[in-house]
Amino acid sequence: MLSPHTTFRRIWDSFILLLTIYAAVETPARIVIGYPVVGWLVWSDHLLSLFFLLDVGFNFFTAIEGRGGRLIKNRRLVATHYLKGWFIIDFISAIPFELLTDFGLGLGRMARIVRLLRLLRLLRLLRLAAFMRRLGASASVSPVILRLVFLGFWIVMGAHWLACGWIAVGGCADEVEVGRRYLRSLYWAFTTLGTVGYGDITPSTNTQTLYALVIMILGAGMYGYVIGNVASLLANIDVAKAHFTEKMDQVNAFLRYREIPASLQQRVRGYYEHLWESRLGYDESSVLSELPPSLRLEISLYLNQDIIQKVPLFKGAPDEFVREIVNALKPVVFTPGDYIVRSGEVGEEMYFISRGTVEVVSPEGNSVFATLTDGQFFGEIALVTKEPRTASIRAADYCDLYMLDKSTFDRVLQNFPALYSHIRELAQTRLRSRRD
């Protein structure tokens, strides 16, 4: 069984997609323009059918992805899944109808029908559309940019088919040279679809007038659809930035309305700017709260890797300890000058510093006892001794901290006495240094 993720399978799938696009462009063009089929073009039809048939074969031997990304390799299951899914489309588009003409079966009227049957290859475009949808949902490229590219692709493809249709109804018939005829028809298709309609190419027969009418109605609808789509896609090209700008507008309007003093306004804006620079303005805990517990833990572990690496206490600690603590850590931000902890208060939590500097200060805030920075922690004395806070802690710059509440601290450290005594020793040392 082949895995759908092997390099071979990826290259093959891309190759088949390219062939699909080629077939979607060449098949209708050949039918209406009727250019001479010479050189490699003679073989192109046979090769297309051959590759499409090979693809059908490969699909019976390619494992499928079940729920949660698990690969299903059971041959029966794979075959049933394929037969119930894409098989019909893949198979019809792979039937070598051109062989009928080669064997002389398609003569006269039949020849035209056989030629039209080749259009069934276009069914494969459904596969292309599904692929684009999947790519849009999973790609690392901006999904908005991808959607714009796909929209452009379908517009160009649609205009090509309409141009072929225009030739089929006898449009631009006075152009003798086939290349120029196609180009003029394509130009007609774009101007009519775009509702520009210069009027330099006009329908003359009834069929052409009817065809032009239908395209104009289609064009009017499509124009609105495309403009609406492009406008909303462009507005969302950077979702995070758009979200953040909207948030800032709201905050600024509120600050102005409530006539908050300028210096305080500046601090609020500074906080949001820091939030933007450090995490694109997202409130991580609210994003995480929507995830199921197992995923939340995995993401927390990943996001908090830097704090696990930075805090010496976590580095050598057992995995279970890190898991439990990390799941309970809450990210909090403080701006310069903020008091994180006030001396004499009852302590309900301790903090780990991810980024930034804090000062351990006297209750009045005029003498600094110590400065703590990345990877250090504070607020543990109140949790260990159950006494009020022994000092105040003030943020010296923007600080990204992780808060650990008392109940988790007590519960987790009960099971890890060695770590508990380490924290207690540090608390004692700090207490002693304060008394000296």
Query: Could you give the CA distance from residue 56 to residue 183 in angstroms, rounded to a whole number?
Result: 36
- Using CB under 6 A, which of 341, 413, 419, 423 touches ligand CMP? 341
Question: Residue 164 or 350: which CB sits closer to ligand CMP?
Answer: 350
Q: Does 423 bind ligand CMP (CB under 6 A)?
A: no
**Nearer of residues 256 and 434 to ligand CMP, judged by Cβ:** 434
- As measured in angstroms, the least distance from the Cβ of 408 to ligand CMP is 16
Distance separating alpha carbons of residues 115 and 394, to the nearest angstrom = 80
The residue within the footprint of ligand CMP, chosen from 378, 398, 402, 409 (CB under 6 A), is 378
> Considering the complex, what minimum distance in angstroms separates the CB of residue 320 from ligand CMP?
25
Q: Mask of contacts with ligand CMP, 251-280, x by CB under 6 A?
A: ------------------------------
Part of the chain binding ligand CMP (CB under 6 A), chosen from 27-35, 159-167, 207-215, 379-387: 379-387
Q: From the list 171, 203, 347, 375, which residue makes contact with ligand CMP (rule: CB under 6 A)?
A: 347
Shorter beta-carbon distance to ligand CMP: residue 63 or 313: 313
Contacts of residue 328, Cβ cutoff 8 Å, sequence gap at least 6: 404, 405, 408, 412
Is residue 433 near ligand CMP by the rule CB under 6 A? yes
Q: Is 430 near ligand CMP (CB under 6 A)? A: yes
What value, to the nearest 5°, has the Cα angle with vertex 69 and ends 65 and 74?
40
* Shortest separation between residue 272's beta carbon and ligand CMP, angstroms: 28
CB of 346 to ligand CMP, least distance (A): 10
Interacting span for ligand CMP (CB under 6 A) from 183-191, 204-212, 226-234, 426-434: 426-434
Least Cβ distance, residue 372 to ligand CMP (angstroms): 6
Cβ-based neighbours of 127, under 8 Å, separated by 6 or more: 17, 20, 86, 89, 90
The reply to whether 23 sits near ligand CMP by the rule CB under 6 A is no
What angle (nearest 5°) sits at the alpha carbon of residue 333, between those of residues 327 and 337? 145
Q: Which of 114, 381, 413, 423 binds ligand CMP (CB under 6 A)?
A: 381
Chain residue whose CB lies nearest ligand CMP: 382
If binding is defined by CB under 6 A, does position 415 make contact with ligand CMP? no
Q: What are phi and psi of 337, to 5 degrees?
A: 95, -15
Contact residues for 117 (Cβ-Cβ < 8 A; gap 6+): 95, 97
Stretch that binds ligand CMP, among 87-95, 105-113, 157-165, 372-380 (CB under 6 A): 372-380
Closest approach of ligand CMP to the CB of residue 421, in Å: 16
The answer to whether residue 380 forms part of the interface with ligand CMP (CB under 6 A) is: yes
How far apart CA 192 and CA 166 sit, in angstroms, is: 11
Cα–Cα dist 359/429, whole Å: 17
From 148, 151, 370, 403, residue interacting with ligand CMP (rule: CB under 6 A): 370
> Is residue 391 a contact residue for ligand CMP (CB under 6 A)?
yes
Distance (Å, whole) CA 199 – CA 219: 15
Choices 29-37, 48-56, 168-176, 386-394 (CB under 6 A): range interacting with ligand CMP = 386-394
Cβ proximity to ligand CMP: between 48 and 353 the closer is 353
Between 121 and 430, CB nearer to ligand CMP: 430
For residues 78 and 399, which CB has a smaller minimum distance to ligand CMP in the complex? 399
Footprint of ligand CMP on this chain (CB under 6 A)? 341, 347, 360, 369-370, 378-382, 389-391, 393, 430, 433-434
